[in-house]
């Protein structure tokens, strides 16, 4: 699984957690906060993504990414690192 594949998982999860974004275009440079995804929802996206890619990590280790692309890169590094 690479960063692009993880990015797709994250986007699918965002649309699941926030159905209002189902038809919204989401790119790697977008941040969840700017898309209107609040902090509780962002953490839910992260948890569901971790479960989908079979990665078990403390959430605090995922603090830092400024956009979805960076989050995908970080998860990829943790998964394959």
Partner 1 sequence: MIPVGIEAMSVYGGAAYLDVRELCEYRGLDIPRFENLLMWEKTVALPYEDPVTFGVNAARPLIDGLSDDGRSRIEMIIACTESGIDFGKSLSTYIHHHLGLARNCRLFEIKQACYSGAAGLQMAVNFVLSRTSPGGKALVIATDISRFALADASAVREWAYSEPSSGAGAIALLVSETPDLFVIDPGAHGNCAFEVMDTCRPGADTEAGDADLSLMAYLDCCAGAFNDYARRVEGADFRQSFGYLCFHTPFGGMVKGAHRHLMRKLYKAKPEEIEADFQQRMSPSLTYSQRVGNTAGASLFLALAGTIDTADFDTPRRIGLFSYGSGCCSEFFSGVVSSEGQQRLKALRIDHALSGRYRLSLADYETLLRGNHAVRFGTRDVVLDHKVVPAAWPVYQTGRRLVLDAIVGYHREYRWV
The contact set with partner 1 (CB under 8 A) reads 20, 36, 38-40, 42-44, 47-48, 51, 58-60, 62-63
Return the structure tokens found at 43: 């953490």
Q: Name the DSSP class of 55.
A: -
User: Is residue 25 exposed (0-12), middle (13-18) or buried (19+ Cβ within 10 Å)?
Assistant: exposed
Return the structure tokens found at 33: 């906060």
Q: 62 or 75: whose CB is closer to partner 1?
A: 62
CB of 46 to partner 1, least distance (A): 8
**Dihedral sign (CA 25, 28, 31, 32):** positive
CB of 80 to partner 1, least distance (A): 22
| H or E stretch covering 21 | none
Q: 64 or 81: whose CB is closer to partner 1?
A: 64
Q: 48 or 79: whose CB is closer to partner 1?
A: 48
CB of 62 to partner 1, least distance (A): 7
């Amino acid at each position: 699984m690479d960063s692009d594949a993880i990015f797709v998982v994250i986007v699918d999860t965002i649309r699941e957690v926030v159905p209002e974004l189902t038809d919204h275009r989401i790119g790697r440079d977008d941040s969840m906060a700017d898309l209107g995804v609040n902090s509780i929802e962002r953490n839910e996206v992260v948890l569901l993504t971790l479960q989908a890619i079979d990665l078990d990590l403390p959430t605090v280790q995922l603090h830092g990414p400024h956009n979805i692309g960076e989050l995908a890169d970080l998860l990829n590094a943790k998964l394959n690192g």
